[in-house]
Structure 1
Amino acid sequence: MKILVTGIAGFIGYHLVNSLIKRDDEIIGLDIINDYYDVTIKYGRLKNCGFAISGIEYNKLIKSSKYPNLSFIKLNLEDKKNIENLFKQENFDQVINLAAQAGVRYSLVNPQAYIDSNITGFLTILECCRHYSIKHLTYASSSSVYGLNEKQPFSTKDNVDHPVSLYASSKKCNELMAHTYSHLFGIPTTGLRFFTVYGPWGRPDMALFIFTKAILENKPIDVYNYGKMQRDFTYISDIVQGIIKVNDNPPEGNQNWNPNNPEPSSSTAPYKIYNIGNSKPVELMSFVKTIEEELGKKAIINLLPIQPGDVPSTYADVTDLIENFNYKPQVSVKEGIKNFIDWYRNFYSI
């Protein structure tokens, strides 16, 4: 297969590409390398993939010096003309769209970024999938779409009509847009609702990175909802395992789908939604304690009320993923935190 992976300089995209290149697939990675967080980490990921940082120019395809089946291009998803040229020239079989403006809290202060990247950019991808006969589009959604839902575990069979952040709204919108294109044009699409991904090369705006940095620097950490938070922390290799299994198996229309009692995660169209999570929620204070143990240092904890856009708990129902792909998360939170801290110490020479 020839696969376009967008968001290759991002956390999940980087790890995914490092798994895909071990197969016979030809991979072209795309990223705009924006400055939402420290670009040093993004360039570090690209360097590890064999790309000379000084040679990265906009809209220029470059080959990896490390992997013969990997190339990279710096492009903006909203750049419709050049994205379309890329599809026309490269004749992709599949697309894995992980590029997006991430972050719940940032959407409160810069909402336009989410409309531009997550909606306008996603439309560009859908249109190219339509016109260039893409066999399967796999794309990133988010557990954030569950919003005000309190029934747990969160199931793809439940409606998600009450998001509490524009980030979540943009991801719900992606799912609706994908269904429309699956229905109208027969494009197989699969949306993946990720649950709190963590691990080496993780994002600096995520809890594990923030807590580790603050504890090592003897600074306080902000713990919201007075510590009464749960997250379904999912290690990066378990996420990648799920993405690859799903991407290798494009959905077909569900012939048992009932329009009088519509099940949200499938359709008569070749459309499917999955949760990807560990399915083992962890108390946030327990998570902090494990970080303290691995660092050998106590945290200075600043307890605060819940933040706008946040939800108190996430818990993934991954029944469909287990039944269809024998999905089995392998990495415990303790092991995952240790792996991250080992990477962090090495990356920052601590």
Structure 2
Amino acid sequence: MKILLTGVAGFIGARTAEMLLEQGHSVLGVDNLNDYYDVRVKEYRLGRLQELDGFVFHQIDIENRDALDALFKEHSFDAVMNLAARAGVRASIEDPYVYLATNTLGSLNLLDLMVKHGLKKYLMASTSSLYAGCDMPFVESMDVRRPLSPYAASKLGAEAMAYSYHHLHDLDVAIVRYFTVYGPAGRPDMSPFRFIEWIKRGEPITLYGTGEQTRDFTYIDDIASGTIAALQTQGYEIYNLGGGNEPISINQMIEQMETHLGKKALIDYQPMNSADMQDTSATIDKAKSNLGWEPVVCPMEGFKKTVLWHLSEESWLNKIQL
């Protein structure tokens, strides 16, 4: 297939594109390369992709409908994978407008251009943050109409708009809700990347809460393979892609990092943010039965792989702003 993949320089987008290319698909990747976090990490991921056959890159913001329209006119795509997003719960409280513009309006641009140019297959990345306030474990059928952050609200809007376009224009739509993704070349604003770097550099970890809060950590390769598997969706379906109801506490994660780095963490405890979730746990039965997907990398193995990547790339990671 020839796939338009947005957010291709992002953590999940880059690994998903890499796997698609390994499988023989061609990928036209777009990304605006914004500076939400240190752009050198995005340039690293993009540089790896540009060494592979079948990959083309355009620096485009999905908020720019005219620029996207020009791509649709020039290329014939088999599917659109919308992995572009403004992510982060706390940052969305500070600037909700940019989250609505990218996550909701940007998604609408893609959906509307698909209809205009006759495309039928759409995949969109969503978030487990929608389940805040729900009872665990989280199931796709839960009522998520009370999002606790602008980030979650912007993703809920994108999901709802995708359903409207499925209903009105018969698009095949797959929504994948991600649970705490981590791994090599991760996001510098997320705790796995920051904690490893802080411990490695001998700097204090900023930890919100006691560290006993839990997350359904999901390794990047598992997330990418699940995202690709969801392309087979017909109709409109939502899938949880998570660790499979085996949550790990933040303190357990820190202990693993200390073990593999051979250094103790200095911890600066801060109050928990009201928009943060205490615990996350995914029911992944639907992805197992419909897609034949389940995670294969357990958190303890994944944390080790992640630490080893940080050590192997230490020469430039030491300069990354956290």
TM-score, normalised to structure 2's length?
A: 0.95
Q: Which residue of 1 aligns with 2:3?
A: 3
> Matches of 2:57 and 2:274 in 1, distance apart?
37
Q: Which has the higher helix share?
A: 2
The count of residues paired between Structure 1 and Structure 2 equals 315
The answer to whether 1:239 aligns with 2:223 is yes
TM alignment of 1:265-344, pairs within 5 A: 270-279=235-244, 280-344=246-310
Q: Secondary structure at the match of 1:19?
A: helix
Query: What one-letter code is carried by the residue in structure 2 that aligns with 1:313?
Result: D
Aligned partners of 2:130, 2:176: CA distance in 1, in Å?
A: 11
Out of 139, 149, 161, the position equivalent to 1:165 is: 149
For the residue of structure 2 that corresponds to 1:145, the secondary structure is helix
- Which has the greater radius of gyration? 1
Tell me the distance in 1 between the aligned counterparts of 2:280 and 2:102.
Answer: 25
Per the alignment, residue 60 of structure 1 pairs with: none
RMSD: 1.2
Matched, 1:110 2:76: no
Residue 112 of structure 2 aligns to which amino acid in structure 1? E
Q: Which amino acid aligns with 1:212?
A: I
The answer on 1:46 being equivalent to 2:58 is no
Deviation at 1:340, TM superposition (A): 1.1
1:226 match: 210
Identity of aligned residues (%): 38
Alignment check: 8 A CA contact 2:173 2:236 kept: yes
Q: Which amino acid aligns with 2:233?
A: P
Q: Which moved more, 1:125-134 or 1:172-181?
A: 125-134
**TM-score with structure 1 setting the length:** 0.88
Of 119, 129, 141 in structure 2, the residue corresponding to residue 134 of structure 1 is: 119
Which residue of 2 is the match for residue 89 of structure 1? Answer: 74
Letter in 2 for 1:129: M
Which residue type is aligned with residue 159 of structure 1?
D
Give, in whole Å, the separation in 2 of the partners of 1:243 and 1:183.
Answer: 22
Structure 1 ranges of 4+ moved more than 3 A: none
SS where residue 86 of structure 1 aligns? helix
Q: Any idea what the Cα deviations from partners look like across 1:2-26, whole Å, max 9, x if unmatched?
A: 1001011000011011111112322
Alignment-mate amino acid for residue 284 of structure 1: I
Is 1:125 the equivalent of 2:110?
Answer: yes
Partner of 1:147: 132
Q: Aligned partner of 1:319: which letter?
A: D
Runs of at least 5 residues in structure 1 that lack an aligned partner in the other structure: 51-65, 252-269
Q: After the TM superposition, which of the residue ranges 337-346 and 285-294 deviates more from structure 2?
A: 337-346
Unaligned runs of 5+ in 2: none
Contact 2:284 2:294 in 1 (8 A): no
Aligned partners of 1:105 and 1:308 also within 8 Å: no
